Amino acid sequence: MKKDSLLYKILWSNYPRTAFIISGFGLLLGAAIVFFGAGLFLVFRQIQMSDDQLFPKEFIVINKKVSLLNTLSISNSGFSEEEIEEIKNQPFVVNLSPFVSNQFKIGAYTEATENVPGFYTELFFQAIPNQYLNIKDSRWKWEKGQKEIPIVFPSDYLKLYNFGFATSQGLPQVSAKTIGRVSFKVKITGKNGVHHFTARIVDVTDKVNTILVPLDFMLWANDSFGVEEKKSSPSMILIETENAANPEIISFIQTKGYETNTERLKNSKTAFFLKIVFIIVSSIGGIIVLLALLMFVFSLEILILRSKESIKKVLLLGFHYNHLLKIYLLFITIMLLVILSLSWFFAQTGLNVLEQFVSENGFSFPSDLGIQLLLLPVLTLVILLIINMITIRLQLRRINSESNG
Amino acid sequence: MIINFDSVVPHPIRDIYSSESDIWNNNIVFEQGKFYQISAASGVGKTTFLNLIYGSRKDYDGSVFINQKNLNNLSFTDWSKLRTRSVSMVFQGLFLFDNLTVFQNIMLKNRLTNHKTEDQIMDMINQLGIGELKDKIVAKISFGQKQRVAIVRALCQPYQVILLDEPFSHLDTSSAQIALQLIIESSMENHATILLTSLSETLVSDNFSLIKL
């Protein structure tokens, strides 16, 4: 450093101060906006990822609207094969699977103990192929002869139990984490008489309001116990799509008189909206960064042009232009490091303030973005340095060839 | 270091050079350790001659060789090495940095070459009578004083040839003699060649051979 201090004095003696300050502020502001936007995007992605993962990211479940005609048994709420085929042919459908329903009577019961009264309720099961599910629990499988049926329970039912049944009956409440320990007896009545199984809840979901069992069990049970009068066409269909917020889906569903999980669509719309916001914010930040970068590069060019005669002299004394390049780059690196660190700090502070605001309003917000959010400034620094290196090197080479005839 | 000019004619003086020139369009060898004074009137290429050897001009016909290497084939890295290890020059325009002090101007080169100690530099500065100006900004000293700074700077590197472009033009006789003595001593130590240009044909010292341009 000491060795080059005189060179610094020569090369930076008449730098365009105002232009550097303005472009520096521009970079600071633009980069802070981009980092903040990226932070929001990461937060959103983490929220999405922490969401329950039982189903593929972009899916919807549709069913027919229940009307007076259904009640009067004039119209069927199940989907016919033609209707399924029609849905399958829609451009937004990547894949679909009807839910397979039980074709036999199911009753759930517990035997009364000293503390807990016995109960009995009729139930229903539905199943879809495993490829549409992402259940990590190893108990989510069923083989012929197995007496325990794993089931996935809708979280709304859990809430109903916890805040309705359990409180009124003085029973212990069950959380989503402890539900894996809950089991109850299942009585199946079908063509071969009455059969008893145990059902164990292995997971809960807020994505679909049905009780899911493995398809293997459902097919075997329908085959073994199914009765003709219980046979019905599927009442719910799971659709895998590229983008659940696609307006075509909504209009198709409305035209056909179907229904879907509106919450899910709303989430998708929110996601879509947030993506747009992220793109707009990041684009504005990006444009500011780009303009500031242009100004920065121009300032550098002015600096080098102003020092042109000095550079020629220095080269004639025997300095290599790579040596001068290093000196310019060292200064620029320090400058950019300070600017980008400040941008990062402002973006992180902004996110922290947002986190505080959001948590005061009763939402959780992942805040451990530090390392992930650091990658962007590092990447920006590398790109900016490469651009500057190319610019300065070109200029120096030009001056070098001028000073050497 | 042997320098060989083979039928060299610089483009700017293509139409005006003298057919009696020892250098232009001629074959001439400058031998290691010898001192040459190149004399000519203004405008016939004294500076151009030195610039060809220093690599800062390439607009000429013919060939210039240093130790049998054609200068046209050298890369900038080669030139950078030559200018810090083998070829030194006192430019007619001096090429000092006005915003640096006398001492800083000299140290700029010395930090690149690490050739002299600060004491040795101070010794040379004092010999040339500019010791008191050491910390003065170069912009504020006279041209004669600047010439002496440029001479000290040129001696702050190892060299096998030193190119002196009218180095004493603004010095009084006594200062010029001291400066010349310093250069001769340094060059003898380095066993180096001196190529000195001047307007006058009177030899600066008996050690020099006169070359007409």
Q: What is the ipTM of this complex?
A: 0.94
**pLDDT for A363 beyond 70:** no
Residue range A295-319: mean pLDDT, rounded: 90
Q: Are residues A46 and A149 in the same domain?
A: no
Question: What residue numbers bound the domain in which A319 lies?
Answer: 5-52+268-403
Q: Are residues A84 and A22 in the same domain?
A: no
Q: Sort out which chain B residues have CB atoms less than 8 A from A9's CB and list them.
A: 99-100, 104
Of the residues A261, A285, A315, the one at which a domain ends: A261
Q: Mark yes or no for CB contact A6/B55 under 8 Å.
A: no
Residues of chain A with pLDDT > 90: what percent? Answer: 11
Q: Half-sphere exposure of A380 toward its Cβ, with a 13 Å CA cutoff?
A: 26
**pLDDT for A35 beyond 70:** yes
> For residue A394, how far is the Cα from the chain centroid?
43
Chain A residues with a Cβ under 8 Å from any Cβ in chain B: 3, 6-7, 9-10, 13, 310, 313, 316-321, 400, 403-405
For A180-215, write each residue's pLDDT tens digit: 777 788 898 888 788 889 988 888 876 677 889 999
φ/ψ of B110, rounded to 5, equals -65, -30
More confident of the two residues A245 and B30: B30
- Helices and strands (H and E) in chain B: how many: 6, 9
Q: Mark yes or no for CB contact B95/A313 under 8 Å.
A: yes
The pLDDT value given to residue B98: 94
- Helices and strands (H and E) in chain A: how many: 12, 11
More confident of the two residues A63 and B194: B194
Q: CA–CA separation, A171 vs A149, rounded Å? A: 24
In angstroms, the separation between the Cα of residue A347 and the nearest Cα of chain B is 41
The pLDDT value given to residue A366: 59
The pLDDT value given to residue A3: 66
Q: Please state the domain count of chain A.
A: 2
Q: Are residues A252 and A286 in the same domain?
A: no
Q: How far apart are the first and last CA of chain B?
A: 21
In angstroms, the separation between the Cα of residue B181 and the nearest Cα of chain A is 23
Contacts of B2 (CB under 8 A, 6+ apart): B29, B30, B31, B32, B65, B66, B67, B68
The pLDDT value given to residue A55: 55
Q: Sort out which chain B residues have CB atoms less than 8 A from A6's CB and list them.
A: 100, 104, 107-108, 111
Q: Sort out which chain A residues have CB atoms less than 8 A from B157's CB and list them.
A: 318
In angstroms, the separation between the Cα of residue B206 and the nearest Cα of chain A is 30
Residues 164..203 of B with a Cβ closer than 8 Å to A: which?
none
Domain boundaries, chain B: 3-212
More confident of the two residues B150 and A22: B150
Q: Are residues A184 and A89 in the same domain?
A: yes
Q: Where are the beta strands (DSSP E) in A191-235?
A: 193-205
Q: In residues, how long is chain B?
A: 213
What is the sign of the dihedral through the CA atoms of A194, A195, A196 and A200? Answer: negative
Q: Identify which of B30, B33, B154 has the alpha carbon closest to the alpha carbon of residue B84.
A: B154
Residue range B131-141: mean pLDDT, rounded: 96
Of the residues A261, A292, A313, the one at which a domain ends: A261
The CATH code for residues B3-212 is 3.40.50.300
Q: Mark yes or no for CB contact A316/B100 under 8 Å.
A: no
CA dihedral A283, A289, A291, A295 (to 10 degrees): 180
Contacts of B90 (CB under 8 A, 6+ apart): B147, B150, B151, B154, B162, B163, B164, B165, B167
| Nearest chain A residue (CA) to B11 | A405
Q: Sort out which chain A residues have CB atoms less than 8 A from B104's CB and list them.
A: 6, 9
Residue range A116-141: mean pLDDT, rounded: 80
Q: Are residues A21 and A109 in the same domain?
A: no
Give the position of tokens 């973005």: A369
Of the residues A233, A261, A289, the one at which a domain ends: A261
Q: Are residues A90 and A156 in the same domain?
A: yes
Burial class (CB in 10 A: 0-12, 13-18, 19+), B77: exposed
Q: Mark yes or no for CB contact B104/A318 under 8 Å.
A: no
Q: Mark yes or no for CB contact A316/B91 under 8 Å.
A: yes
For A59-117, write each residue's pLDDT tens digit: 788 888 776 655 555 456 788 888 888 888 888 888 888 888 888 889 888 777 766 66
